[in-house]
Amino acid sequence: MLTDDEYDYLFKLVLIGDSGVGKSNLLSRFTTNEFNLESKSTIGVEFATKNIEIEKHTIKAQIWDTSGQERYRAITGAYYRGAVGALLVYDITRQTSFQNVTHWLKELREHADPNIVIMLVGNKSDLSETNRAVTTEEGGALAEQEGFLFMETSALDATNVENSFATVFNTIYSNVPKKQVNADQQGQTGPSGDRIQLRPPSVRSMTRGGDEEAKEKKSSGGCC
């Protein structure tokens, strides 16, 4: 039985998309079930972690978040390095954020591993009735064209938040060669061919306390 800070795999996922689409709130909804109606733009890089179970393996989901605003962003290369998943988020009430998906895609293609698992996420679905500017069909068509997973979410009312992260992590996990999953050895390769960071059993026993884990969950400047 693994304790809180013991895990079999560490999967890094990055959040990208225009400023204000709700990346930070998706992250806080997923990791701590919190939502902030007046959240400020992210400065630099933040990351949070959450352990999830897939087929009796503990996956440490490490999710990185930075600002959609160029001036607040950290070094791009370091942000994408080692990422095996990405949520490319737009705001269903803001057309420009959907149009800019192509910009984020370009950045992903330039800096991320070509085999990264990408989900296109149309956030703020709670405003669907009153303020929708991008139809579900438009989002779905773009995702299909690019070969992405797709989901509409609401960080505000929690619709599909757990589901979207879980789908991406399950897809990443399913791409890991099963023989290697069962081998439970250090130094395995992931879907990207990169090493999946796997903590060996000898290190597992050197666990940190819950308090330290809690601090890590909202630590900033996790990059570089």
Ligand X SMILES: Nc1nc2c(ncn2[C@@H]2O[C@H](COP(=O)(O)OP(=O)(O)OP(=O)(O)O)[C@@H](O)[C@H]2O)c(=O)[nH]1
Residue 219 binds which entry of ligand X, Mg ion, none, with Cβ cut-offs from 5 to 8 Å by kind?
none
3-class secondary-structure state, position 137: helix
> Which of these, 80, 78, 85, 35, lies nearest to 59 by C-alpha position?
85
Residue 20 binds which entry of Mg ion, ligand X, none, with Cβ cut-offs from 5 to 8 Å by kind?
ligand X
> Which of these, 63, 69, 35, 66, lies nearest to 48 by C-alpha position?
63
* The only residue of 13, 21, 24, 80 in contact with Mg ion, by rule CB under 5 A: 24
Which single residue brings its beta carbon nearest to ligand X?
22
* Nearer Cβ to ligand X (48/198): 48
Residue 140 binds which entry of ligand X, Mg ion, none, with Cβ cut-offs from 5 to 8 Å by kind?
none
Which pairs from 32-37 meet CB under 8 Å and 24+ separation? 32/217, 32/218, 33/158, 35/155, 35/156, 35/158, 37/156
* Nearer Cβ to Mg ion (24/192): 24
The one segment of 21-29, 81-89, 92-100, 156-164 that binds Mg ion by CB under 5 A? 21-29
The Cα 112–Cα 90 span in angstroms is 19
* Nearer Cβ to ligand X (5/18): 18
* Residues lying near ligand X in the complex (CB under 6 A): 19-25, 36-39, 41-42, 67-69, 123-124, 126-127, 154-156
Task: Name residue 152's beta-bridge partners.
Answer: 122
